[in-house]
Amino acid sequence: MSLLERLKAQIAHDGPIGVPEFFTRCLHDPRDGYYATRPALGGLGGAGGDFITAPLVSQMFGELIGLWAIETWTRMGRPAPFRLVEMGPGDGTLMSDLLRAARVAPDFLEAADLWLVEVSEPLKAKQAQRLGDRPRWASRLGQVPAGAPMLLVANELLDCLPARQFVRTKDGWAERVIGLGADGELAFGLRPLNPPPRGGGVRAADGGGSSAALAPSPSGPADHLPPRGEDFPVGAVVETSPAQAALASDIAHRLVTDGGAALLIDYGRAQPEAGDTLQAVQNHQKVDPLKTAGLADLTVWADFPSVVAAARETGAKAGPILTQGQFLLALGILDRAEALAARQPEKTDQIGRQLDRLLGEAQMGALFKVACLCAPDLSPPLFEDAT
């Protein structure tokens, strides 16, 4: 039985589920989850795979992050050893490029205790093929040994963590859930956060028909709602991600305790705003998430304001939030591109396309954001104004 059929059977028996549970099952179900069975990263121009990340666009991305890491390590006092950690390392391309750039600092490489935090067995195999036996692997940050300063990089990790979705209705806030429509297929519905004493249940949303399990619904927790819900118009969708905030807290606690910095890069928002960002991507095309359970990559936008706030509440410094374009330009990507083109003039046009993809306002340059979390006594390059 496919994951989609198992989800439908579960909902028919137990009632609707929240977006976070659906999201997590689609990505990490041990039998049919996307990352457990078929993660497919593609090349620039949509060649193969389901999606493309910045490290696959150009070697310049990982190289510049490597130079940033070396300078940050220097500002940390050049500790040896230190934990060099990448969370969600994909096929290992970013770390491979980072380590190659770090050859200019042999002491950095010698001091680095390399850890990759990865839950996908297929991706672990790809990482090992690219990086050899130098890294050690963990399935969560807590398994990386404490007791030494840490430099952590996470590119497109936050978007893989689920978010709750709330819809502003004329009667107040309701949480978006997934039930069964009249046709027996998965459908979105709404569960009022404070349902009336009688009736309760889930009502259809987005034309989805009635749920197959209209059991009374308990009041959903409102801790993650915007503080002034009345400011949003009827129909507005607001996302909150306790999972993203919890990860930021975990990273921040480690930085406060052991020292170091974490660089988080992802597509997302730099300020609180409404919007439904849940999407499924298959073969570089958006598809219906309710029809492709386990077959497509699911993502939501990174909520950088909440991530930064959670880190600060834990005692770390954080911010400001930069765009990827600002970040890469400040690190000297144009000079690096010029040097590459001078060495390989036949690739000048290709390098230009790579720059446009990484920096362009209509590409990754503005949509992707960069945040740095760090120990209270550290001022990493480009984030000296962190508070």
Note the pLDDT tens digit of each residue in 185-219.
Answer: 999 999 998 654 433 344 555 444 433 223 333 33
Question: How confident is the model at residue 176, as a pLDDT?
Answer: 96
Last residue of a domain, one of 225, 240, 255: 240
The total of structural domains in the chain comes to 2
Q: How far apart are CA 349 and CA 351, in angstroms?
A: 5
**Same domain? 246 vs 220:** no
Residue 32 domain-assigned?
Answer: no
**Same domain? 181 vs 116:** no
Question: How confident is the model at residue 380, as a pLDDT?
Answer: 95
Residue 9 domain-assigned?
Answer: yes
**Same domain? 324 vs 255:** yes
Domain with 339, as residue range(s), is 54-161+241-271+295-374
Question: How confident is the model at residue 52, as a pLDDT?
Answer: 80
Question: How confident is the model at residue 200, as a pLDDT?
Answer: 39
Residue 332 domain-assigned?
Answer: yes
**Same domain? 266 vs 304:** yes
Three-state helix/strand/coil letters over the chain? CCHHHHHHHHHHHHCCEEHHHHHHHHHHCCCCCHHHHCCCECECCCECCCECCHHHHCHHHHHHHHHHHHHHHHHCCCCCCEEEEEECCCCCHHHHHHHHHHHHCHHHHHHEEEEEECCCHHHHHHHHHHHCCCCEEECCHHHCCCCCCEEEEEECCHHHCCCEEEEEECCEEEEEEEEECCCCCEEEEEEECCCCCCCCCCEECCCCCCCCCCCCCCCCCCCCCCCCHHHCCCCCEEEECHHHHHHHHHHHHHHHHHCEEEEEEEEEECCCCCCCCCEEEECCEEECCCCCCCCCEEECCEEHHHHHHHHHHHCCEECCCEEHHHHHHHHCHHHHHHHHHHHCHHHHHHHHHHHHHHHCCCCHHHHEEEEEEECCCCCCCCCCCCC
**Same domain? 247 vs 334:** yes
Residue 117 domain-assigned?
Answer: yes
Question: How confident is the model at residue 74, as a pLDDT?
Answer: 98
**Same domain? 128 vs 249:** yes
End-to-end CA distance of the chain: 51
Residue 379 domain-assigned?
Answer: no
Per-residue pLDDT band for 110 (boundaries 50, 70, 90) equals: very high
Question: How confident is the model at residue 172, as a pLDDT?
Answer: 86
The angle at the Cα of 127, spanning 80 to 53, to the nearest 5 degrees, equals 100
Question: How confident is the model at residue 194, as a pLDDT?
Answer: 67
Note the pLDDT tens digit of each residue in 124-141.
Answer: 999 999 999 999 999 999
Residue 359 sits in a domain whose CATH number is 3.40.50.150
**Same domain? 194 vs 337:** no
In the predicted structure, residue 363 carries a pLDDT above the cut 90: yes
**Same domain? 229 vs 344:** no
Note the pLDDT tens digit of each residue in 260-301.
Answer: 999 999 999 999 999 999 999 988 789 999 999 999 999 999
Question: How confident is the model at residue 283, as a pLDDT?
Answer: 83
For range 75-85, the mean pLDDT: 98
**Same domain? 224 vs 369:** no
Note the pLDDT tens digit of each residue in 31-56.
Answer: 999 988 866 654 444 445 566 889 99
Question: How confident is the model at residue 36, as a pLDDT?
Answer: 85
Long-range interactions of 306-310: CB distance < 8 A, separation 24+: 306/240, 306/241, 306/244, 306/245, 306/248, 307/158, 307/244, 307/245, 307/247, 307/248, 307/264, 307/371, 308/248, 308/371, 308/373, 309/245, 310/245, 310/246, 310/248, 310/249, 310/252
Residue 266 domain-assigned?
Answer: yes
Residue 72 domain-assigned?
Answer: yes
Cis peptide before 81 (omega within 30 of 0): yes
Question: How confident is the model at residue 47, as a pLDDT?
Answer: 47
**Same domain? 156 vs 226:** no
Residue 368 domain-assigned?
Answer: yes
**Same domain? 177 vs 302:** no
**Same domain? 143 vs 246:** yes
Question: How confident is the model at residue 229, as a pLDDT?
Answer: 57
Last residue of a domain, one of 220, 240, 260: 240
